Amino acid sequence: GQSLEQPSEVTAVEGAIVQINCTYQTSGFYGLSWYQQHDGGAPTFLSYNALDGLEETGRFSSFLSRSDSYGYLLLQELQMKDSASYFCAVRDHQGGKLIFGQGTELSVKP
Amino acid sequence: GAVVSQHPSWVICKSGTSVKIECRSLDFQATTMFWYRQFPKQSLMLMATSNEGSKATYEQGVEKDKFLINHASLTLSTLTVTSAHPEDSSFYICSATWGEVLTDTQYFGPGTRLTVL
């Protein structure tokens, strides 16, 4: 089966950089995705890594190491609006369903 | 980008009644739709996978007779919670995709918050 581990919560200050790690175990790997979810809202797609390396999209970057079954989401120049839950997710090889980690609650302080 | 809508955004119902939640892909044809449930402070848990014109595939532990899913067209899937009870109160979220389910992005709807009294 699939399982993902990520820290339950992270706190940082405005303007700082924060890294949210995710380790996974899968039978068949079809990439690691990251989603952001504000309280009461729906998940919003942030990034997808299928190959090793760093993907950059504005203030957010995502990294993948398939040999280590590990990835991270890097948030730079943190803003108050970045306070949210962040989920890593992998695809199940049967049917393509997304398996989500438990989520990391990021709190950005002034 | 692709847009997925859900209706209603929130609903309150009495115990024992049935509630229907709609999920629509507004600007694309969704070959596959997924239904998730999320309890407060928890992760999204997949309930079922729905393909247009065929029966939904339910995850282990999800009662298919209680959570009826109909994917009647390439733009609409519905989830009906039958004989709802307070423990069914949750945030229900659908997602939709087209093309290759293993790699293509899933687009999420805004969610429906169900409260059963």
Beta strand pairing status for B10-13 and B4-7? unpaired
Q: How far is B102 from chain A (nearest CA, A)?
A: 4
Inter-CA distances, A17 with A9, A42, A73, Å: 15, 24, 11
pLDDT digits over A12-24, tens only? 999 999 999 999 9
pLDDT higher at B51 or B38: B38
Is the confidence at residue B1, as pLDDT, over 70?
Answer: no
The answer to whether the CB atoms of B44 and A87 lie below 8 A apart is yes
Nearest Cβ partner for A42 among B49, B103, B108: B108
The answer to whether the CB atoms of B111 and A42 lie below 8 A apart is yes
pLDDT value at residue A9? 96
* Interatomic CA distance for residues B23 and B111, integer angstroms: 9
Nearest Cβ partner for A31 among B103, B110, B113: B103
- A42 neighbourhood in chain B, CB within 8 Å: 93, 108-111
Would you mind telling me the total number of residues written for chain A in this entry? 110
- A50 neighbourhood in chain B, CB within 8 Å: 103
pLDDT value at residue A24? 94
Q: Which two tokens stand for residue A74?
A: 């890097």
pLDDT digits over A28-47, tens only? 888 899 999 999 898 998 99
Tally A–B CB contacts below 8 A: 56
Scan for tokens 């209603």, then name that residue: B8
- A95 neighbourhood in chain B, CB within 8 Å: 49, 57, 101
* Interatomic CA distance for residues B116 and B21, integer angstroms: 14
Nearest Cβ partner for B43 among A48, A91, A100: A100
Q: How far is A1 from chain B (nearest CA, A)?
A: 13
Instruction: Give the whole-number percent of chain B exceeding pLDDT 70.
Output: 94
pLDDT value at residue A98? 84
- What's the mean pLDDT in B90-103? 81
Give the mutation candidate from B108, B112, B113 for the A interface (greatest A CB count, under 10 A): B108
- What's the mean pLDDT in B2-25? 95
Is the confidence at residue A82, as pLDDT, over 90?
Answer: yes
Contacts for B48-51: CB closer than 8 Å, 24+ residues apart: B49/A95, B49/A97, B50/B77
User: Going along B56-97, which residue ranges are E strands?
Assistant: 57-58, 67-73, 76-81, 90-97
pLDDT value at residue A14? 97
Average pLDDT, chain A: 92
